[in-house]
A and B are shown apart, each in its own frame.
Chain A
Amino acid sequence: MGKKQNKKKVEEVLEEEEEEYVGKVEYLLKWKGFSDEDNTREPEENLDCPDLIAEFLQSEKTAHETDKSEGGKRKADSDSEDKGEESKPKKKKEELEKPRGFARGLEPERIIGARDSSAELMFLMKWKNSDEADLLPAEEANVKCPQVVISFYEERLTWHSYPSEDDDKKDVKN
């Protein structure tokens, strides 16, 4: 096709292709005033649009570089494994829980028992003005009512005495 004779103007160089065996470079061209359907491939020597070719080669280079570096904002990762930290989409309302222990707002009277509940020491607490005793962690009682805890332990102290060599020494220093 003799483009020079028809004097069609090259609008844009779209692609560059190198023929394998011949080693010839061809360009895919868009012609001014014609649609993309009329694009043609032309060998290098047929072209008389050095500026367009230079522009094309430059843009190729930049595109390549941009692909490589991929600067630009990245939106949130929708497959993030941290999704589990989001707030629950649905919530079931359960029975209103009865307040227990100190949450009942009562004053401790005395500890009436202790229990080792799955490696955590629990106290059974009698509260003032209530017949209902309940369990609470010793850790909490130690902080919130230490005197009550001490009384509990003191009431249950047992002394062991072992026979000593100096049995006749009887003075006790207090």
Chain B
Amino acid sequence: MLTCSPACQGGLTIELRCWEYKYRQACFARRQQRIAVSLELRKAKKDEQALKRRNITNVSPDPADQQTKGDSLTLQEIISGVNASDPELCFQATQAARKMLSREKNPPLKLIVDAGLIPRLVELLKSSLHPRLQFEAAWALTNIASGATELTRAVVDGGAIQPLVELLSSPHMTVCEQAVWALGNIAGDGPEFRDNVISSDAIPHLLTLVSSSIPVPFLRNIAWTLSNLCRNKNPYPSDHAVKQMLPALFYLLGHPDKEVLSDTCWALSYLTDGCDARIGQVVDTGVLPRLVELMSSSELNVLTPSLRTVGNIVTGTDHQTQLALDAGILSVLPQLLTHPRSSIQKEAAWALSNVAAGPRQHIQQLIACGALPPLVAVLKNGEFKVQKEAVWTVANFTTGGSVDQLIQLVQAGVLEPLINLLTIPDNKIVIIILDVLFFILQAAEKISQKENMCLLIEGLGGLDRIEALQLHENHQVALTALNIIERHFSEEEETVTALPARDQDHKFLKDLTNTYHCCTTPKPGPRP
């Protein structure tokens, strides 16, 4: 233990100022130099342009930037170089073009397109004797295709797709990989170009590349390009294409790399966002158990698309939903209602709402897996977009469930948060909640518990709210509220105190009144 005698008490400082000052000076000097250089270059460029008449001046990237990239070729030199027949010159120029197109800020994509370089670049894709040239050309085209639709169109119109597909068979892996990337950008533009890529027979070649021995970055590119081939609607990708890709997607789903998994799951999410038959194709490959595993991932990039895929699957047939339930989605979905991200909570609640839209056996499984408590919690405290999905879940549950299941729903405590939501400005949701209350009252009627249910709802402030809604400006809200009052609350008033005590027969109400007496804060008393 270090002790200080009074003589050396004081403090410690660490002397850093010296170096910092020198560094600042050096920075400043370098900046001055850069400014001087760029001024020189601008002047030189102006002179050059004054001598030659060009029509390609529009979008003007900072000429200084171009030069300081380590390549001293002007745009004009690049154009003539790319068109040259000398392989070395051609290569230098194409590489320079590629570097221009790869810079971080505002690469001059349109400039290169307007210079008419695309046809030549496409031609260079075919120079199998010069793979480095093929690589640079493919990279340049990749970046042009990464731009807006008209730029991608320019690449497609230049005939790039076919030669790119041929490069998928190149013996040089870097060339191959670059072609995959370029095709991914083209396919990602939309359904038209996607189908152009598919009809150029890209898929079988892509699938051949998928193997356990290729480097992970390459596999990532392939997964991403495949996902773009599954993407977009109007039209959806063809059955034939999907059938070809599914086995590869199944294989990729087993890979440990997060990015590969993420893009593969996105691919499946696009496919399942379609008709029941398409969902069936996906489910038949047997991906469900693995998807359930991935839904427990701590990686948001993996969780989001796997959850989306499962959510899509349960919008399908009851049979498909059953398969999802068999795979164990209900062991994960309720937990996701408490995920830190509200977008995940929302997707989980949406998936649950679609399970609740199924037959009673599915609703029963919802109850059995313990989905009700977190659902009620979300109804109480969730963000509005999550609460909406929870309301749908309750609504579907109510219309599809048996009386017994409805009792359990009420016992879980849905009434209080539902009634509290009656004050929101979203009319559609308000109507849904009113319908839920109507159904619950009807169910109570069937087991001769209507009066008690009315009291319960009244005690939670529900009657006041429903009465107020009769005067709502929205016609349908008002009518729905009126309907409830007329149907269930317009009996003669009975003495409030006697009823709960009288009920000996049905355990349900006893439990219920106990629950509410314990848990709820005092509500406004019964109407005068």
Please list the residues of chain A having a beta carbon within 8 angstroms of any beta carbon in chain B: 68-77, 82, 85-95, 112-116, 124, 153, 156-162, 164-167, 169-174
A165 to B5 CA separation, bound complex (whole angstroms): 12
Asked if A92 contacts B395 (CB within 8 A), the reply is no
Asked if A70 contacts B432 (CB within 8 A), the reply is yes
Which residues in B have their C-beta under 8 angstroms from that of A157?
12, 14
* Binding stretch for chain A, among B32-40, B55-63, B310-318: B310-318
Which residues in A have their C-beta under 8 angstroms from that of B181?
91, 93
Which residues in A have their C-beta under 8 angstroms from that of B139?
93
Question: A74-B350, A113-B19, A160-B10 are known contacts. Are A82 and B312 too (CB-CB below 8 A)?
Answer: no
Question: A156-B15, A173-B5 are known contacts. Are A89 and B231 too (CB-CB below 8 A)?
Answer: yes
Which residues in A have their C-beta under 8 angstroms from that of B387?
none
B345 to chain A, nearest CB (A): 11
Which residues in A have their C-beta under 8 angstroms from that of B314?
73
Asked if A161 contacts B315 (CB within 8 A), the reply is no
Which residues in B have their C-beta under 8 angstroms from that of A115?
19-20, 23
Which residues in A have their C-beta under 8 angstroms from that of B188?
88-90
B365 to chain A, nearest CB (A): 16
Q: CB < 8 Å: which of A75, A91, A112, A170 contacts B184? A: A91
Question: A68-B435, A71-B396 are known contacts. Are A91 and B185 too (CB-CB below 8 A)?
Answer: yes
Asked if A87 contacts B316 (CB within 8 A), the reply is no
Which residues in B have their C-beta under 8 angstroms from that of A69?
395, 398-399, 435, 439
Cross-chain pairs A/B with CB under 8 angstroms, 8 sampled:
A90-B152, A91-B185, A92-B142, A124-B23, A158-B12, A159-B12, A172-B7, A173-B3
Which residues in B have their C-beta under 8 angstroms from that of A114?
16, 19-20
Which residues in B have their C-beta under 8 angstroms from that of A93?
102, 139, 142-143, 146, 178, 181
Asked if B266 contacts A87 (CB within 8 A), the reply is yes
Q: CB < 8 Å: which of A73, A87, A161 contacts B354? A: A73
A62 to chain B, nearest CB (A): 12
Asked if A71 contacts B399 (CB within 8 A), the reply is yes
Please list the residues of chain B having a beta carbon within 8 angstroms of any beta carbon in chain A: 2-3, 5-16, 19-20, 23, 99, 102-104, 107, 139, 142-143, 145-147, 152, 178, 181, 184-185, 188-189, 224, 227-228, 231, 262-263, 266, 273, 304-305, 308, 311-312, 314-316, 343, 346-347, 350, 353-354, 357, 392, 395-396, 398-400, 431-432, 435, 438-439, 480
Asked if B8 contacts A75 (CB within 8 A), the reply is no
A174 to B7 CA separation, bound complex (whole angstroms): 13
- 9 extra interface residue pairs, beta carbon distance < 8 Å, beyond A76-B312, A85-B343, A92-B107: A68-B480, A72-B396, A73-B354, A90-B188, A113-B20, A115-B20, A115-B23, A159-B10, A169-B7
Which residues in B have their C-beta under 8 angstroms from that of A85?
304, 343
Which residues in B have their C-beta under 8 angstroms from that of A77?
350
Which residues in B have their C-beta under 8 angstroms from that of A70?
395, 399, 432
Q: CB < 8 Å: which of B142, B316, B357 contacts A72? A: B357
Question: A74-B357, A156-B14, A156-B16 are known contacts. Are A169 and B392 too (CB-CB below 8 A)?
Answer: no
Q: CB < 8 Å: which of B9, B13, B185, B305 contacts A162? A: B9
Asked if B7 contacts A87 (CB within 8 A), the reply is no
A33 to B266 CA separation, bound complex (whole angstroms): 53
A115 to B22 CA separation, bound complex (whole angstroms): 11
A35 to chain B, nearest CB (A): 33
B87 to chain A, nearest CB (A): 23
B15 to chain A, nearest CB (A): 5
Most buried by B among A92, A116, A157: A92
Which residues in A have their C-beta under 8 angstroms from that of B12?
157-160
Q: CB < 8 Å: which of B7, B102, B316 contacts A94? A: B102
Determine the residue in chain B with the shortest Cβ distance to A93: B142
A35 to B13 CA separation, bound complex (whole angstroms): 100
Asked if A82 contacts B343 (CB within 8 A), the reply is yes
Determine the residue in chain A with the shortest Cβ distance to B273: A76
Determine the residue in chain B with the shortest Cβ distance to A95: B102
A43 to chain B, nearest CB (A): 28
Which residues in A have their C-beta under 8 angstroms from that of B262?
87
Which residues in B have their C-beta under 8 angstroms from that of A169?
5-7
A133 to chain B, nearest CB (A): 11
A81 to chain B, nearest CB (A): 8
Q: CB < 8 Å: which of A87, A156, A170 contacts B263? A: A87
Q: CB < 8 Å: which of A82, A86, A113, A162 contacts B23? A: A113
Which residues in B have their C-beta under 8 angstroms from that of A172?
5, 7-8
A165 to B152 CA separation, bound complex (whole angstroms): 81
Asked if A90 contacts B146 (CB within 8 A), the reply is yes
Which residues in A have their C-beta under 8 angstroms from that of B104?
94-95
A93 to B100 CA separation, bound complex (whole angstroms): 11
Asked if B315 contacts A92 (CB within 8 A), the reply is no
Question: A73-B316, A74-B357, A95-B99 are known contacts. Are A87 and B227 too (CB-CB below 8 A)?
Answer: yes
Which residues in A have their C-beta under 8 angstroms from that of B263?
87
A11 to B10 CA separation, bound complex (whole angstroms): 105
Asked if A90 contacts B189 (CB within 8 A), the reply is yes
Asked if A71 contacts B395 (CB within 8 A), the reply is yes
Which residues in B have their C-beta under 8 angstroms from that of A74?
315, 350, 353-354, 357, 392
Determine the residue in chain B with the shortest Cβ distance to A86: B266
Determine the residue in chain B with the shortest Cβ distance to A121: B16
Most buried by A among B304, B314, B399: B399
B4 to chain A, nearest CB (A): 8
Top 8 A-B residue pairs of the complex, sorted by shortest distance between their CB atoms = A89-B188, A160-B10, A113-B19, A69-B399, A71-B399, A92-B146, A164-B6, A172-B5
Asked if B20 contacts A166 (CB within 8 A), the reply is no
Most buried by B among A82, A113, A162: A82
Asked if B357 contacts A73 (CB within 8 A), the reply is yes
B430 to chain A, nearest CB (A): 13
